Structure 1
Amino acid sequence: MTTHNGNTRNEATTLPAASHAGNGTRRLAAVTAVLAALYALAGTIAGLSGQPFPVGDGDRYSMALLHGAPNALLGWGLTALAGLAALLAAACAAGARQDRAVPGLRAAVTAMAALTGLAALVLVGDARLLSVLGYIPVIIAKVSYDPQIQQALPRLLDPAQLNLLALAAGAALWAALAVAVNRRARQACAKCGRGDGTAGGPFSAGAAARWGRIAVAVAVVVPLIYAATRICWAFGIPLGVEPGLLDGMQSQGMDTSALGLGGMAVLGSVLTLGLVQRWGEAFPRWIPGLAGKRVPITLAVVPAAFVAMAIIPASVTMLMMAGLPSEGTIPGFSLSNWAPLGPAFLWPIWGVALGAATLAYWLRRRGACASCHRAG
């Protein structure tokens, strides 16, 4: 009787959990399928209209790894990828609805996640998303009187910028779907990913606390190197740049921009430091209405993950710019002018480190799972 009751109890616990896992995967796959289909539809309409696809605009900061490819080839390639992604996500949703394993689905979803991430962050993505984030203080400070800023505002939401956001969102959705499918395949908890034998592994809270500190240290130092150069320029110190070039930047009012960019980099470093500090878990006492309250995990994880995703394509753009000849106030890379582009050589490391630091923060703070009750 005891054994029978124990088995019944286990079945009552396992079956709803499996059903919940299938429902979560199905919903995620359905959302991914719909959004991919909408992207494919938009791409088809843009292609048939005869207008250029919103992939790059010739500006240096829109240079991607495939910037030299024909616009139509890139546009139709992304459209075809979105169509294939919609079909695969629909198949994933159908398999989850019927609670059955589809042969090869796990490998196909994982491959699609890798392909969309590669396209969004390396092949087609560029520096504009990170550039917008960096120029926020300058935009706020000068938008009321600077005609150049006012004229540039519509570009913040132009089709090319929206396309970058759509690609980043697609990459994030496919990464999440690949995680969900792989969790189901190895019979791990759908909510937290823990399974039998995972305690004490590299993704445990204790291990994440150790390697997370290293990741945070790297993600804090790299933007400070960039910030040091820009703040020096703002105060007329030609750190890593020829004095004549700095004079030209100051004559065009770029010292304000340099100060804003440097300030945002410092702010980013400080916020990154919060991923291993007490004030990153509980609001400081000096914040009215929030003092001592728990910092929601998503409040730190979502923006940090977005910035990490924006850094990777920006690093590709900046490294490509380093090989170009000088153009106006944008010099090519040289020993006498290393600072404009030199710090970007470390940006790939920065992006990976920030992503790892964000993951470690989540692993460390998530606590015991409400679904499987595992901890650690």
Structure 2
Amino acid sequence: MRPLTPLRARPPRSALLAGAAGLLALAALTTSCSGPNGVTLGTDWKGSEDFTLSRIGGQLAVVGINPEKHRAEPLTVVPAQGDDDDTLAPQIAHLANGKWLLAVGRKGGKPDRLYVLDAKNRAVGRQAAVEEAAHGIVASAHYLAGVPGQADSGDGGHSSVLVGDGADLRRTVRTVRVDGTVSQAAGGTDSDKLCVTQDEGKGRSRRTRVLSLDLATGRTDRVIPFTGGTQAQTVACRGGRPVVGTPAAGRSGVVSMERRHDMDVVRAVGGRVDQLAVDGGTVAAAVFHGGKEILVTFDTATGHRTAQVTLPGLTDAAQVVRTRAGWLVVSPQDGAAVVRDGAAGSAGPDDVRHISLPGQFLAAS
């Protein structure tokens, strides 16, 4: 249910997936060892509830985060290839089957190289290639959506969302055409819906739309227009119901949630909504205001705020996800923080624990 940032620009539309079946290479890691270029690999696969990608010692590493023990460590290194494009950020997505999909860009507009991370079996293996830059990977209950970052050239300004079979990554099921350019997209393994935002223009002339797409049928369930030049900064998707984060004029820093009949809107007065997540009956928003990052939670049924916690040391957020230890917030610059369930207000040192991330952060799911 996590928004996609950033969406990649891409060449004209072609098929989403192609190549050989199954894992082409499999590397099992069961003990602490030294990887390529001396990268020291950890062993905490079982305790890691979340995975991110970092550059460590010049290598692309998968970092496992254990929120309960408040630590993160590289667990495996993705094999480097001569045509890897380091100027394109890699991507990682959590699939409905519990595995994780990694996409690594290639030079010259070649298909992205895909890898599947199987944390249960402590393995990473190469999968079929994508026949174009993987511009944006979003998983649903049964599908994998490839979301473009720009409209198709020569196709009347449409964007083609390519829908792959989640059980067979070689197979493209259908193409969903969306008018205009996609700004943000989010899915979730609780449904086969995709929530999409589109922003065009600036200021009061800005036109923003929110769409709910059904990946199972290829239909657009609904199109919701925003008014008054409102910007959609981020989006989450709850069973096909969009949750959109927007700024609001003012300085107070008040964060609120408005329930509408067709979507939920989280507003930050004088602030920036960095990330949204939905878990059961709770919406969580990571918001930057007054030089600091805060985590605010809301009841999905009423829209009432249930908690607000300052995250010391964090100034942005690339991911918010619920874990056994509480809410985990991952920052691309400042590491991560885990917020204990029940923490609120001026939380103490035991309520919010900081986690240092190794290497240079590249991507979160």
Instruction: Normalising by structure 2, report the TM-score.
Output: 0.25
Higher relative contact order (CA 8 A, sep 6+): 1
Instruction: Normalising by structure 1, report the TM-score.
Output: 0.24
| More helix, by proportion | 1
| More strand, by proportion | 2
Larger radius of gyration: 1
